[in-house]
Amino acid sequence: MTDAPPSGGQIAQVFAAQRAGAERLRAAPVAQRLERLERLRAQILRHRRQIDAAVQADLGRPQTETELAEWIPLLADLAAHRRNLARWLRPRRVRPTVATLGTQGWVEREPRGRTLILAPWNYPFVLTLGPLIPALACGNTAILKPSELAPQCAHVLASLIRAAFDASEVAVIEGDATAARALLELPFDHIFFTGSPAVGREVLRAATLNLASVTLELGGKCPAIITASADVERAADAIAWGKCLNAGQTCIAPDHVFVHAAVYARALERFKRRFADAYGDDPQQSPDLGRIVNVHHTRRLADLLEDARARGARVLHGGAIDVPRRFVAPTLITDVPEGARILQEEIFGPLLPIIVYGSQEDLLARLNAVPKPLAMYVWTRRRREAQELIARTSAGGTCINEVGRQFLQHNLPFGGVNHSGIGSYHGEWGMRAFSHERAIVAGRIPLAGVFAPPYGARARRWVSLLRALAAWRA
């Protein structure tokens, strides 16, 4: 597409072109699908400098964080698909049931067809091209809609995709929410959305009108828990890093921390020291701290902090915000009352409320009183304690004595639950998201020849035999 916002007619034209593309790609053998992935990989590497420059321009993110959070998982996921695609696409045989004796059954993966990937701004490449990898591997076409809040990244994505694919296979539609709404009116076969729960609800409503399947990768308020038995220093260091990665604009970032009363004072001191060591006395001058994506979101974070202060919360460290320069300092907040907005809304920035708790029952009550998060982080030296917290709560994923590593583990599903998402992806789970598992039964003995009416003695004997066999196996 051009730099001008696309019209509804242009969007419909691309969508129509992908009908023929979807029919052509449906039967593509493994070799052709691998070739498409190789085209994508080659263009990602060719656009490396443009990608890094665009991320810096839009987000001011340190290059080390871009390497860790965008490049490494993206290239690792491509490698995993190249190694495993033939196995993942292989038909899977199943055993016959009592009622289907004399048949063969198997499951084949078929592409969903025309897919739409609505991507966010916070990790504009891995969260756009990451879902595209299984979409291509499954034999789908795709239209990508990157976020207009990261415009330089959107331009690079469009250039990269144009260099790799014809628009009948993969296309990028730039533009604002108007373009997104125009896309959602079209009868896609599958929609993959990454973003906020509020927008996720709108996507789900739009998908129901065309009965499209959906994958919703949302967010929520991800809690971190430092128990009495935890390695407090290691926990605080890791949580501080996870909170400030990409200036806190990460869907799996620790949103707030519950700290057991027995280690509360130690934890506060360690958090203060870690923030000071990482970003210095003047974090606005630190090259290792990114910026908030725009002035609107910076002002939103300033409002959250001001509301907490007005209600009696105490800023223990940091607190500096420069709205025009999109800067928010890593900030520790204590004594936050229950009604504060910062405990109700997803923060998505480097503001970290620290909440003291006394008993595990009190902690569980608070964890289960709010919507299910995308991630939960448990710090403990007692395996049974971690197991109990996992068994008695619900979250999209959980790390024990780690932060954020679940996103990098592509042999596990990544996704939320209820408020934090529907469905999952990464590795083989991405193949499940972008394909339909088609059930196939091949018969050798026509059922109608034995059981068709009029029901005589022969049919009754066969029914009695199968009923007895079913009862025996039960």
Q: Which residues contact 221 (CB under 8 A, 6 or more apart)?
A: 255, 256, 343, 345, 346, 347, 370, 371, 373
Query: Which ranges of 47-150 would DSSP assign to H, the alpha helix?
Result: 48-59, 63-66, 72-89, 126-137
| DSSP element (H, E) containing 270 | helix 264-279
CA 163 to CA 329: how far, in whole Å? 39
Residue 64 burial (CB < 10 Å; 0-12/13-18/19+)?
exposed
Other beta carbons within 10 angstroms of residue 231's beta carbon come to 15
Question: Is 385 in the active site?
Answer: no
Measured CA to CA in angstroms, residue 120 lies from 40, 194, 449 at distances of 20, 6, 57
From 65, 174, 217, 385, the catalytic residue: 217
Catalytic residue among 138, 153, 222, 251: 251
Question: Among candidates 260, 272, 267, which has minimal Cα distance to 229?
Answer: 260
Q: In the chain, what is the straight-line distance between the N-terminal and C-terminal CA atoms, in Å?
A: 60
Q: Which of 441, 408, 429 is nearest to 138 (CA)?
A: 429
Buried b (16+ CB within 10 A) or exposed e, 214-223: bbbbbbbbbb
Answer yes or no: 251 catalytic. Answer: yes
CA 374 to chain centre: 8
Positive or negative, the Cα torsion across 278, 284, 288, 290?
A: positive
- Tokens found for residue 354: 């620290």
On whether the CB atoms of residues 188 and 114 are closer than 8 A, the answer is yes
**258, 357 in Cβ contact below 8 A?**
yes
By the 8 A CB rule, do 158 and 86 touch? no
Residue entry with tokens 């331009």: 155
Of the candidates 221, 277, 273, the one whose C-alpha atom is nearest the C-alpha of residue 251 is 221
Annotated catalytic residues are: 217, 251
